[in-house]
């Protein structure tokens, strides 16, 4: 199936066979947010790897990855609404992924210490009709985060919790990492991994009602 993007499809829910969304993500945090707000869903994890050109911005990187996940799953589950999402942490335009080891976690936390950085989450709603897949809606949400000045003892303590190692940017705001944060401007849930307010806006735009 070839993706088709553009304006949201008219009356898209008329062809949807089930109210439950398909979440095209393995993230436990995204699952927790959807459950917290009573959104019925099931998980289908995509193995799609987006092809990125040179010098992509953090926003474009998040969007391309979210689109690839959503379109992949929508192509394999026609007439189901599919939600794809991807989160990117960036400081001064430099993207910070998940640390590979203790040394990289230390380095990321030292870099973030005392600085402002951004978290971008792209959310994509897609559907397949059996012959093509369509992007119904998409949005990239950004949040500004300010870190406290961290001394070596604070970094050592946080790394010892083990929390940094499955988190982009080496911290989780919803866990012990919240103690490292001095301030936030924007959506908290965007930093966790899914801006739920934006997700509800997208769903209601196509007629979904909770």
Bridge partners, residue 43, by sequence: 23
3-state helix vs strand vs coil in the chain, percent to 5: 40, 25, 35
Catalytic residue chosen out of the listed positions 72, 86, 137, 166: 86
Q: For residue 10, how many other CB atoms are within 10 A of its CB?
A: 8
Among this protein's residues, is 86 annotated catalytic?
A: yes
- Residue 48: phi and psi, rounded to 5, are -65, 135
What's the Cα-to-Cα distance from 185 to each of 55, 112, 142, rounded to whole Å?
26, 16, 9
Contact call for residues 83 and 123 (beta carbons, < 8 A): yes
String of DSSP letters for 138-204: EEEEEEEEEEPPP-HHHHHHHHHTTGGGGSGGG--TTTGGGGGEEEEES-HHHHHT--HHHHHHHHH
Residues belonging to the active site? 86
């Amino acid at each position: 199936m070839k993706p088709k993007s553009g304006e949201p499809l008219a009356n898209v829910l008329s062809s949807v066979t089930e109210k439950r969304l398909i979440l095209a993500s393995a993230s436990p945090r995204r699952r927790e947010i959807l459950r917290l707000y009573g959104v019925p869903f099931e998980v289908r994890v995509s193995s799609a790897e987006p092809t990125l050109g040179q010098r992509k911005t953090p926003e474009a990187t998040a969007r391309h990855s979210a689109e690839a996940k959503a379109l992949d799953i929508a192509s394999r589950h026609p007439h189901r609404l599919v939600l794809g999402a991807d989160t990117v942490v960036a400081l001064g335009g430099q993207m910070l992924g998940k640390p590979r080891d203790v040394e990289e976690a230390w380095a990321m936390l030292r870099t973030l210490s005392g600085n402002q950085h951004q978290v971008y989450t792209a959310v994509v709603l897609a559907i397949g009709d059996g012959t093509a897949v369509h992007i119904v809606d998409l949005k990239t949400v950004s949040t500004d985060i300010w870190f406290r000045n961290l001394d070596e003892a604070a970094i050592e303590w946080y790394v010892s919790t083990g929390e940094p190692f499955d988190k982009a940017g080496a911290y989780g705001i919803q866990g012990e990492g919240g103690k490292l944060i001095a301030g936030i401007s924007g959506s908290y849930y965007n930093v966790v991994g899914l801006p739920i307010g934006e997700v509800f806006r997208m769903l209601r735009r196509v007629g979904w009602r909770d």
